[in-house]
Structure 1
Amino acid sequence: MSKDRTRIVVGISGATGAIYGVRLLEALRLLDVETHLVVSASGWLTLRQECSIDRHAAQSLADVAYDIRDIGAALASGSFRHQGMVVAPCSMRTLAAVAHGFNDNLLTRAADVTLKERRTLVLLARETPLTLAHLRNMTAAAEMGAVIMPPVPAFYALPKTLDELIRYTVWRVLDQLGLASESAYQRWEGMRTHVRSVRAQSDDLSVLHV
């Protein structure tokens, strides 16, 4: 792997919303970001069910893919340098493991390493309604430095399709990592300005057109 490329770890757990992980990998590839992928056992089931993507197709979207049972892989060490990790989507089970430092597989260990090394960890927590346990786990993870980012639809961006909703969330994730393309979406500048700009803009969404 190149020492000069930005390196991002992507985890996909078993919650609904596997498309967020897929679109994120596609966007990072177009940005020439080196990606390292780890998928949970239930994540593979969700990818097939919701996206009709098999293991080979999903792994081909990343530069490097790991077996979740490979706890001795590079991702398990803080000496493996990267610029951030995203779990998209993040199940409540994975959230709980991260919140309590329960490093039982490579995905949760990689997330724990990201936190202890003070790197950006974004968790697209996916569940509703939320129990008190879910809320407490989110608080615990946030207190350790994780970004809790449920993939909530942004209707103020005036999306026309489901794909636009998904791509907008991916853009917001990239923004958390400092990688968002400024040409992909107009940043909020107030309601009147935003409505005018949305009506005038073309359908060119740059790197998120994947």
Structure 2
Amino acid sequence: MEKVKKEKLNDELEKTNLTLIQYSKKIEELTITKERTRIAQELHDSMGHSLVALSMNLEYAENIATINPEKAKIAMHDCYSISKDCMKNLRGAVSILKENSTLSLRKDINQIFLKFKQTDRYEFNLDFDENVEKVSSGIKTCIYKTLREAITNGIKHGNATSFNIHIGKSSNSIIFKIENNGVGCKKIIRSNGIIGMEERVHLLNGEIIFKSEDLVGFTIEGKIPENIL
């Protein structure tokens, strides 16, 4: 009877081990898939923004090359800086894929604006509450990436030329609103950019909505709790 008992226990242990191995493989596959998705999103967000800025500056330089060579030269210099930034983002995304540590949100946002400064085509109005600088790096990084994607999408898909941005504190939450004057849409399509924005904000227990009325303009509003459990 003891022998039969032991054999039965051994059989059960073998089955359990096989099940655990299968679970382990599934977890490994899911981890790899998740990491690939993260890499794709990081490349899409960082590279997409830089490439749109590069394209706009090159177009501007080409249009004024014969009219104002000096301005065209400055624009080409900006293109060189943006391409270097693009390569830096690519290396960062591929090698380590660590979250960006945003120390000064206002400074990082101004760097986004500078990429389009020489084109004389885009206008950026920023209403920024300095108290937001005191919140966690994770929240600031989320807002920075959301704004960067919003500007990229607004220029690329909506042909927007003007952006009004509000970032502030309300009670125990950080709120942000990004409006542009681009072409609106009756139905908002959840592209990679929009999905990425949603995922980042929801990961911090926040809320984000997208609005477009009368086919003119596009608005993104969000709220992230300051104290994240």
Structure number with bigger Rg: 2
